[in-house]
Structures are given as structure tokens and as C-alpha cells.
Chain A
Amino acid sequence: AQTVTQSQPEMSVQEAETVTLSCTYDTSESNYYLFWYKQPPSRQMILVIRQEAYKQQNATENRFSVNFQKAAKSFSLKISDSQLGDTAMYFCAFMKGGSSNTGKLIFGQGTTLQVKP
């Protein structure tokens, strides 16, 4: 069974600074995908960034980047130049890939990030 663990329930950062959210996972699968989702207080879950396990290069989306350490089963999210609109709950998620892929997401417990002015 796959598990996803986020060990930081809450974090805060000053506007314009950089923050890193941690995520570890456990799986015996070799083909899988990892995601970071953002859930603002308005509730809608929004995809922030995605990483394919077979790619060594870390994914980047504007101010968001990941540090994917496959051997350590670690997948952290770095937010640069934090903005007030980044305030939200962030979820790390896992999905099997290849022929095992059915689109089922396994989420971590979430990290609440507050960006302070």
C-alpha cells in the first residue's frame, strides 16, 4: 500500500520570501506520479505541480518548484517570492503510473501555509 506523509501541519512565511514544504512517501511501485495540490479557503483543490517518477529533472512551474529525491522517497515543494494569495492548505499526492494507473490519488494530511504581509 502507498502512503504519503506531510510532517509539517502548519507553516508561515513572510511575503516575498521562500518557503519549502516537505513530503515523504512510501511505495513499491517503480512507475508513479507525484503532485502538489493547493486548497485555498474557498475549498477548490487546484493542481500546483506534477512530477513523473521516471524523470530525473525536477519540475518547475513559475514560482513553484520541487526537489524530487527518488531514492529517499522525498518530494518537497519550494515556493519562491511568496505572495498573499499563496495562503492555503497544500497537499502532496501520489498516483500509480503505467498499467496500474486508474487515476486514484493518495493524499497526505496537508500543510497549512500562511503568508504574512
Chain B
Amino acid sequence: DAGVTQSPTHLIKTRGQQVTLRCSPKSGHDTVSWYQQALGQGPQFIFQYYEEEERQRGNFPDRFSGHQFPNYSSELNVNALLLGDSALYLCASSQTGGVDQPQHFGDGTRLSIL
């Protein structure tokens, strides 16, 4: 049973560019959350998708946007990249109703901005 898979594993971009990160949830999961983890810090919640809609959003600018597809996979898009966007981006999936079905995390995408 495949867990949460993220691609790519590592990405290098320059300031001002745009990037798309991808996440496939664990089988049977329908909710996807995205987190940003700066080096040496705890993850920060970006947003969550359920039924192809953004259900909740953290304190991130509109440069961060997302999408969820009918097969529950998700994308995170970041426009006009800044040096401060360098981080590990984690995707977590869960079943509807969340807490009794713990969130499963992927290995993350390491984004480096030059």
C-alpha cells in the first residue's frame, strides 16, 4: 500500500520564477494538507484541500495557491519565488474527519531558491 508520494524530491529555482509541487495521497485518503518547513523549524500550515476545494488556509500570501484533482491528488503552486521560500514542503493526507484517522506525511520536496 503506497503511502503519500511527493514529486519532485528536490528542486532548484531562481527568484521570480514559478514552481509546482505535486502530491499523491495515501490510498483511501481524500484530504490533502500542505506545510512549509524552514530549516531547523517546525512545519507551518499552508492550506488544506477537500472535495477539490480549499477548506482552510494558513497565513501565507496569495502567491501560494493549490489545486486538488478528482483522484484526490494535489498541487502546490508558488509564484514570484523569493529567497525566503526556500524550505521543505510537506504534503499530508488523511481521511475525512481527520483526527481519528491520523495524517500521513510524504517525504517532502526540498525547494532551493538561488
* A interface with B by C-beta (< 8 Å): 4, 6, 33, 42-47, 50, 91, 93, 95, 97, 101-110
Contacts and interface: CB of A to CB of B under 8 A. Distances in A.
B56 A43 contact: no
Interface stretch (B35-43, B61-69, B78-86): B35-43
Q: Which of A43, A47, A106 has the most CB of B within 10 A?
A: A43
A46 B103 CA distance: 9
A92 to B, nearest CB: 8
Contacts of B105: 44-46
Nearest to A45: B105
B99 A97 contact: yes
Contacts of A93: 42
B101 to A, nearest CB: 9
